């Protein structure tokens, strides 16, 4: 859950928020887009699968070189990392491997484990919120909208030239975001049972009043007017609570794609990040050529996002061109083919092709959890495996 006031990644206190000059120069020279990623994790007991209120204990164990990239989340069983901006996907992977491994080690020194999962798989008590004025204000204003153990997502940031162009990019992203949501599904379990959804986190997250598909936007002025109206309505406290599935950063020149569960492996995370950048870059090309984004009806988009949460990547989703259900994997392949030129231009095509193959063979995080249970594993064993995947963060490409 993103409860920051910044509405951007990395957060204001994070080291490396300024793009290094050499990266900026290379991005400008070749008209390439930079990218960054935020991941939220659950803290669980050292031997049992239940979440625990251990965030302050983990912070106390952080080495100095990680402190600038780690921050609190809403409840005390969560913790978040934010990468600095990178141009090269391999460099981003190296940074995220360092953050995952280092934070896992800090959690283990604190007597707990770090788990990349969208929602708490095992039964446990509701967690208390972190003791920060903003979180207390949110709780007082919105009541018990975020009970339980916490929900953990992934946010990908991709650079844009200016806000006006960024708004047009958001319009082009709308039809494709349910596909990325399906690919990231990684929370089928809650309190020890299968919810029937590949991403139960999505269903819990949608209780907040501003969560949902980005509306079709006519201009940056229209975007700002909607924000002002939503704040005035009381549906959000400030721009940081604009929880649309894609939005503009309030403080950095990026589009933030933010509808997915945190994924169990770096393979999954890097594939989604590469596809997100290629999708934004493809949209930029469309905008520059004067194309007009399809105005997909908001109710149809909501249906597609519900379908993504329910079926994940192994079921159906909605083809926005025909408005008919199609296998989600077929739509994933269509997305890959649509953005292939920009994957290649950014140097990501070979890596993304390998990672697509691995995702196809292994299934989404939700499918992998269910496969373990079908083979007779317990929820404890599922969480053990998720913790191992999070901790090892292997560089497999």
pLDDT in tens, 205-259: 999 999 999 999 999 999 999 999 999 999 999 999 999 999 998 888 999 999 9
Domain annotation covers residue 105: yes
Domain annotation covers residue 338: yes
Buried b (16+ CB within 10 A) or exposed e, 283-308: bbebbeeeeebeebeeeebebbbbbb
Q: Which of 91, 156, 99 is nearest to 348 (CA)?
A: 91
What span, in angstroms and rounded, lies between the C-alpha atoms of 323 and 300?
A: 8
What span, in angstroms and rounded, lies between the C-alpha atoms of 164 and 296?
A: 20
What span, in angstroms and rounded, lies between the C-alpha atoms of 107 and 172?
A: 40
Domain annotation covers residue 394: no
Residue with structure tokens 């392949």?
Answer: 333
269: domain CATH number is 3.30.590.20
Domain annotation covers residue 289: yes
174 touches 213 (CB < 8 A): yes
Amino acid 147: pLDDT: 65
Mean pLDDT of 12-28: 61
Domain annotation covers residue 366: yes
What span, in angstroms and rounded, lies between the C-alpha atoms of 295 and 387?
A: 41
What span, in angstroms and rounded, lies between the C-alpha atoms of 92 and 87?
A: 8
Amino acid 9: pLDDT: 35
Range of the domain at 107: 21-389
pLDDT digits (tens, 9 = 90+) for 334-378: 999 999 999 999 999 999 999 999 999 999 999 999 999 999 999
Mean pLDDT of 39-68: 97
Q: Is the pLDDT higher at 178 or at 8?
A: 178
Domain annotation covers residue 9: no
Mean pLDDT of 150-172: 97
Over its C-alpha atoms, the chain yields an Rg (Å, rounded) of 19
Residue with structure tokens 């141009």?
Answer: 87
Structure-block tokens of residue 196: 């029937």
Amino acid 352: pLDDT: 98
pLDDT digits (tens, 9 = 90+) for 108-150: 999 999 999 999 999 888 899 999 999 999 999 999 887 688 9
- How confident is residue 8, by pLDDT bands cut at 50, 70 and 90? very low
Domain annotation covers residue 11: no
Q: Given CA atoms 239, 255, 326, 319 in this order, what sign does their dihedral have?
A: positive
Domain annotation covers residue 298: yes
On the question of pLDDT at 23 being above 60, the answer is: yes
* Total domains in the fold of the chain: 1
Cβ-proximal residues to 366 (8 Å cutoff; 6+ apart), any chain? 185, 186, 187, 188, 198, 199, 312, 314
Residue with structure tokens 């992203």?
Answer: 173
pLDDT digits (tens, 9 = 90+) for 61-70: 999 999 999 9
25 touches 34 (CB < 8 A): no
Whether the bond between 10 and the residue before it is cis, its omega within 30 degrees of 0, is yes
Q: Which of 139, 182, 167 is nearest to 247 (CA)?
A: 167
The gap between the terminal CA atoms of the chain, to the nearest Å, is: 29
Q: Which of 384, 358, 357 is nearest to 373 (CA)?
A: 384
Residue with structure tokens 């009043």?
Answer: 209
């Amino acid at each position: 859950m993103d409860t920051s006031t910044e509405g951007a990644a990395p957060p204001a206190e994070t080291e490396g928020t300024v793009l290094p000059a050499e990266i900026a120069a290379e991005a400008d020279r070749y008209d390439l887009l930079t990218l960054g990623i935020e991941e939220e994790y659950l803290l669980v007991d050292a031997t049992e699968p239940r979440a625990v209120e251990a965030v302050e204990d983990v912070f106390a164990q952080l080495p100095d070189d990680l402190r600038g990239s780690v921050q609190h989340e809403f409840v005390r069983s969560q913790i978040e990392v934010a990468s600095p901006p990178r141009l090269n996907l391999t460099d981003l992977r190296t940074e995220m491997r360092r953050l995952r491994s280092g934070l896992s080690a800090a959690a283990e020194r604190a007597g707990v484990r770090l788990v990349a999962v969208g929602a708490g798989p095992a039964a446990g008590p509701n967690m208390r919120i972190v003791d920060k004025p903003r979180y207390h204000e949110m709780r007082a204003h919105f009541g018990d909208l975020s009970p339980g153990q916490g929900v953990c997502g992934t946010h990908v940031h991709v650079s844009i030239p200016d806000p006006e162009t960024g708004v047009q990019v958001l319009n082009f992203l709308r039809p494709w975001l349910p596909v990325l949501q399906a690919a990231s599904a990684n929370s089928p379990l809650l309190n020890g049972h299968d919810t029937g959804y590949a991403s139960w986190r999505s269903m819990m997250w949608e209780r907040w009043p501003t969560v949902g598909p980005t509306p079709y936007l006519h201009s940056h002025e229209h975007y700002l007017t909607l924000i002002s109206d939503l704040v005035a309505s009381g549906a959000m406290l400030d721009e940081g609570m604009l929880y649309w599935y894609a939005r503009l950063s309030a403080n950095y020149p990026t589009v933030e794609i933010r509808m997915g569960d945190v994924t169990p492996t770096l393979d999954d995370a890097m594939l989604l990040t590469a596809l997100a950048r290629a999708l934004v870059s493809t949209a930029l090309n469309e905008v520059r050529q004067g194309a007009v984004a399809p105005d997909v009806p908001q109710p149809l988009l909501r249906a597609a996002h519900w379908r993504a949460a329910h079926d994940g990547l192994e079921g159906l989703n909605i083809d926005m061109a025909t408005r008919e259900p199609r296998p989600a994997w077929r739509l994933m392949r269509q997305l890959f083919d649509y953005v292939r030129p920009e994957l290649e231009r950014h140097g990501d095509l070979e890596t993304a092709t390998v990672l697509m193959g691995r995702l196809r063979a292994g299934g989404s995080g939700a499918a992998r959890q269910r496969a373990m249970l079908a083979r007779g594993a317990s929820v404890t064993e599922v969480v053990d495996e998720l913790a191992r995947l999070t901790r090892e963060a292997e560089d497999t490409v």
